[in-house]
Structure 1
Amino acid sequence: MIGYRYLLTVLAWSTFVCSEVRGPFTKHFSNWLHNNNYDSYNFEDEKFGDQGSFGGKQHDFVSVQNTPVVFIHGNSDGALADGKPMGTGWTSSITYFMTKGYTSAELFSFTWGKDRNLGNAGSRTHDCDTLVRLRKFIDAVMQYTNKTQINIISHSMGVTLGRGLIRGQICNLGKSIEDKINVFIGIAGGCYGLCACSGAASNIYPSCGKDTGFFPGNSCGNNLGTCELKTQPVDCCHASIKYSSYLTRLNNFDYPEATKTYSFWSLADDIIENGDLVWTYSTSKMPHSEVKIFQNYTHMETKDQTVDIQYSLINPN
């Protein structure tokens, strides 16, 4: 009898692990959002199908045991994988967390972009509409799960959007919510901009803009147009660089976004490039954070291949 029960357990577990994570939100969460006046934010955008959102209880009697995790994706990505190389979403992380006992009632994500077309990446910015929508989603998850704190795991542009929605005080977001964030993990973010956004790019692509984009500044002291160099021709003070006003504001706070903050990056990142350096500084390093540096991961792999580390930082005991 013991052997038979063990076999059934193994078979059930294998089926779960091999099954693909699918959205959208559960019916229970969708109905709750409707009944609590969140329809206008269109979190469950139907055009993204079962890859566009994830999370929610299966019924009223499901208990939320773990501190909920909200996942914020990057530019042109989405909540879950869509089969494209730059569209892996949070499928790997959510799958791993569920093998560790988390349920859909504790894991949440939605696709914040208007589309997942990589060709439109240059048009996306840290605009007020996106920030407000993400902040409202955080509010909704906390209200729905009846928890006083959540965890956030973010990637790429999701890092700088996540930091902005936490800090608040712009875009009618209201006050900061640092006290409501237990752990904030920022993976491969462009916290000090991207060298690819210097020069003419800052005037061509909104995502590289000087106000709400990833503009890294065109000079550092007497060094002009040498953002990508690992060693600058002339020593310069990083604090003197005039880069994106949105990013500058985020980096000027003298306290962290959460109880614990972590920055991940890879020296082989194929999107940020230059060993993650912008004017000789690691652009993915959030102020006041602990760091995890990887040698050989691509931009997407730094998210998808570190799920065990993400889990261990959320659950340190």
Structure 2
Amino acid sequence: MVRPFDRNTSMQTVALNVSAFILRCRRHSMSGDGIVGGVHSQTASRSCRRDLGSKGSFGGKTSRDERLRNQPIVFVHGVSDTAGEKMQQAARWFKSMGYKSHELYSTTYFNGAQGNPLKWVEYGMRCEYVKQVRALIVATRLYTGRALDVIAFSLGVPVSRKAILGGRCVDTGEYLGGPLTKFIDTFVGVAGPNHGISLQVGGVAIPGCMFSVIPVCNQVTGLYSGFCPNESEFLQDINKQSGYEGRHIFSIHSKKDQIVGHLVCQKITSQIPGQMGEKVFEDLNHDDTFHNSHSIQLEMIRNHVVV
């Protein structure tokens, strides 16, 4: 059973979250007044990801007079990506549909590709990444005072699911706090490897992380799905409960996804346990499943329907 967010046991976490994210990140990232000042410069640098320039993060008011007309959205990127790439492109689309900058938020939980096409092998669902996404969710809630929507893509789906679930990190044992379920109106997971990844060999799907020889496939925080039905500790943790990601839970995925695949150990890997609906494409690749589904994402978060 998922316990609700425990205010008493999580106040220290919340205080850290607010300090880390509601900042005066001006030109390069989360712009605006913020509601907490005087944050240590090292913390501000880490939260705004100024080290990544304009790609590090985005979101926030440009003046105190701005009011929300839409529920805020938190975007969570995938491997070898930053807030300023695919998520920023998505934000531009949502702006064309009436959203404002202070209603759209994202941060970078690793460092992107850094010019290395093989950078993805270094990723995992580490506690530090989960904490950063969780901090952004809590801070956005406190900053806006509204329930919010989460749109996550690729590895960002399991990372953000754990950020919402809370509990203990499987790698460090740190206690994150209770679930943030009541803060989330709609959760949309796009092309997420919730049960690992699969490869197509001769028309047969086999686990892509059968062996834990690279970080992204490790058996603790990786996408390990070894010999069916084994999964990494992280994947077991987020999949043993359901319905905690928000009031409304949706997934979007493709049968021809060349990155995460479709079936892993006879499970559709991008489905989310307890979801209320899904959009399935027949032939889109991994990235296009995200880029070509913004209108579907919008219907899911606004009207809670699949179109």
- TM-score tier by shorter-chain length is 0.7 to 0.9
Unaligned runs of 5+ in 2: 1-26, 169-173, 199-206
How many residue pairs get aligned? The number is: 261
1:177 aligns with 2:180: yes
Residues 115 and 100 of structure 1: CA distance in aligned 2, closer, same or farther (over 3 Å) = closer
TM-score by length of 1: 0.77
Instruction: Provide, for residues 197-245 of structure 1, a one-character-per-residue CA deviation record: whole Å limited to 9, x for no partner.
Output: 4333x1x211101111101122x3xxxxxxxxxxxxxxxxxxxx12111
Distance 1:164 1:199 in 2: 22
Return the alpha-carbon distance in structure 1 between the equivalents of residues 95 and 155 of structure 2: 25
Asked if 2 retains the 8 angstrom alpha-carbon contact of 1:167 and 1:257, the reply is yes
Alignment of 1:117-196 (within 5 A): 117=114, 118-147=117-146, 149-170=147-168, 171-195=174-198
Alignment match of 2:220 (pick from 184, 189, 211): 211
Query: What SS does the corresponding residue of 2:250 show, helix, strand or coil?
Result: strand
Does the CA-based 8 Å contact 1:211-1:245 persist in structure 2? yes
Q: Which amino acid aligns with 2:249?
A: T
* Cα shift at 1:92: 3.2
Partner of 2:19: none
CA shift in 2, pair 1:23/1:153, >3 Å: farther
Secondary structure of the 2:102 match is coil
Read off the aligned partner of 1:315 and give its amino acid letter.
R
| Gap change, CA 1:46 and 1:38, over 3 Å in 2 | closer
Distance in 2, matches of 1:128 and 1:265, equals: 26
* Structure 2 counterparts to residues 26-175 of structure 1, below 5 A: 26-29=31-34, 32=35, 34-35=37-38, 40=43, 42-81=46-85, 89-117=86-114, 118-147=117-146, 149-170=147-168, 171-175=174-178
Residue of structure 2 equivalent to 1:261: 249
Structure 2 residue 306 is the aligned partner of structure 1 residue 315: no
Q: Secondary structure at the match of 1:28?
A: coil
Letter in 2 for 1:112: Y
CA distance in 2, matches of 1:254, 1:58: 38
Task: Indicate conservation of the 8 Å contact 1:93/1:307, yes or no.
Answer: yes
Question: Gaps (5+ residues) in structure 1?
Answer: 1-21, 82-88, 221-240
- Deviation by residue 1:270-315 (Cα, 9 ceiling, x = unmatched): 2123xx1112221000111111101221111111111111111111
Query: C-alpha root-mean-square deviation of aligned residues, in Å?
Result: 2.0
Q: Are 1:199 and 2:210 matched, yes or no?
A: yes
Determine what percentage of the aligned residue pairs are the same residue: 28
> Per-residue deviation at 1:144?
1.2
Q: Which amino acid aligns with 1:193?
A: G
Name which of structure 1's ranges 160-169 and 190-199 shifts more when overlaid on structure 2.
190-199
Using structure 2 for the length normalisation, give the TM-score: 0.79
- In structure 2, relative to structure 1, the CA distance for the partners of 1:182 and 1:38 (3 Å cut) is farther
Residues 26 and 56, structure 1, Cα contact 8 Å, conserved in 2: yes
**Is residue 2:287 matched to residue 1:278?**
no
Per-residue Cα deviation, 1:68-97 (whole angstroms, up to 9, x for no partner):
10000001111122xxxxxxx113321121
Tell me which residue corresponds to 2:13. none
Quick one: which amino acid aligns to residue 252 of structure 1? K
The structure number with the bigger radius of gyration is 1
